[in-house]
Amino acid sequence: MPEQHRRLASPSRGASSRSRAARARQIADVLRHQITSGDFPEGMLPDESTLGKWLGASRNAVREALGLLGAEGLISRRQGVGTVIVMPKYGHGMNRLAGLAETLTGYGTVTNEVRAAHFVTNPPAVIAERLELTRSAGAVYIERLRWSDGLPLSLDTTYLAPDVGRLLLSCDLASRDIFALIEEMTGERLGRADVSVHAVNAGPDAAVLLDIPAGAAVFAVERSTRLHDGRPVDVESIQIRADRMAFNAVLHRGVGPAANQLQGSRS
């Protein structure tokens, strides 16, 4: 992506152009907040002059801000129609160790396109290490493209401990959540997961699968999950379309984790 790595030469830009750009960014921040908070339930933005009044900004600045939000994939400007919000985002709560399908219950049908599901004899060394197994034990690899409402939502690649993974290979991976299947097939509850959420530019392969432009911002989630007894069984990398999902939380200050109340909602 060499185009992306071209740096904007700030010294060559005039002060007025810089300040106009700053103003557009500030307006875009406010509008993004409104859009993702569900302030426009009809899915349309008002016209530029109304927005300008609300925002205390010129039409030119509003237009530039709408251009930024268009480039983010959040809105689309349609001739003769107006400014349309491309799609509402799902809110994924950081509240508990729920599989994506469980969390999205009520937000449309989530189905999985199973792209790979097989035993691998020589998994990456770090995967074996995370699973606390020798590499020669192998692992089960499952790759699923998750769809909701007829559009790709995320690309999930999962390495499972071989005994647990083999049990899942005979299961309905197209419509069931892996966490639920692990608990059902092993008879054990899942315990703790370590989760790390990154933002990255989609690589060419992930972009094709997720049907987004190469380089579009996506969430890259790393998640390692253990059974209730502490044994690691599941190491995942998930790339999620950031135009379709946000992570939400309600946080409280000055109190221990026990008093936190973290929850998800449609943003």
Compute the residue count for the chain: 267
- CB of 123 or CB of 162, closer to its own copies: 123
Single residue of 21, 151, 171, 185 touching its own copies by CB under 8 A: 21
What is the residue-wise DSSP string for 119-172?
Answer: EESS--HHHHHHTTS-GGG-EEEEEEEEEETTEEEEEEEEEE-HHHHHHHHTS-
- CB of 74 or CB of 168, closer to its own copies: 74
- CB of 117 or CB of 218, closer to its own copies: 218
207 and 216 in contact (C-beta within 8 Å)?
yes
Q: How far is CA 128 from CA 15, 103, 224, in A?
A: 55, 29, 12
- CB of 34 or CB of 186, closer to its own copies: 34
240 and 86 in contact (C-beta within 8 Å)?
no
Going by their DSSP bridges, the two strands 232-241 and 217-227 should be labelled as antiparallel
State the amino acid at position 46 in one-letter form.
Answer: P
The CB-of-114 to its own copies minimum distance in angstroms stands at: 14
The CB-of-1 to its own copies minimum distance in angstroms stands at: 5
- CB of 52 or CB of 170, closer to its own copies: 52
120-179 binders of its own copies (CB under 8 A): 120, 122-127, 143, 157, 179
Q: How many Å separate Cα 96 from the centre of its chain? A: 16
27-56 binders of its own copies (CB under 8 A): 27-30, 32-34, 36-37, 39, 53-56
Single residue of 6, 42, 170, 187 touching its own copies by CB under 8 A: 6
Is residue 235 at the binding interface for its own copies, with CB under 8 A as the rule?
yes
Is residue 180 at the binding interface for its own copies, with CB under 8 A as the rule?
no
- CB of 36 or CB of 111, closer to its own copies: 36
188-227 binders of its own copies (CB under 8 A): 189-201, 203-208, 213-220, 222
94-123 binders of its own copies (CB under 8 A): 94-98, 120, 122-123
Tell me, residue by residue from 51 to 90, as one string, x for binding to its own copies by CB under 8 A and - for no binding.
--xxxxx----------x--xx----------------x-
Query: What tokens were used for 49?
Result: 């002059």
246 and 88 in contact (C-beta within 8 Å)?
no
Name which of 185, 184, 182, 205 is nearest 193 in CA terms.
Answer: 182
59: Cβ contacts below 8 Å, ≥ 6 apart: 48, 49, 52
Count of chain residues binding its own copies (CB under 8 A)? 99
Name which of 237, 238, 236, 239 is nearest 212 in CA terms.
Answer: 239
The rounded distance, in Å, linking the Cα atoms of 135 and 148 is: 35
The CB-of-186 to its own copies minimum distance in angstroms stands at: 13
DSSP class of residue 222 equals E
Is residue 10 at the binding interface for its own copies, with CB under 8 A as the rule?
yes
- Choose the stretch contacting its own copies; rule: CB under 8 A; options: 19-27, 76-84, 104-112, 165-173: 19-27
The CB-of-106 to its own copies minimum distance in angstroms stands at: 19
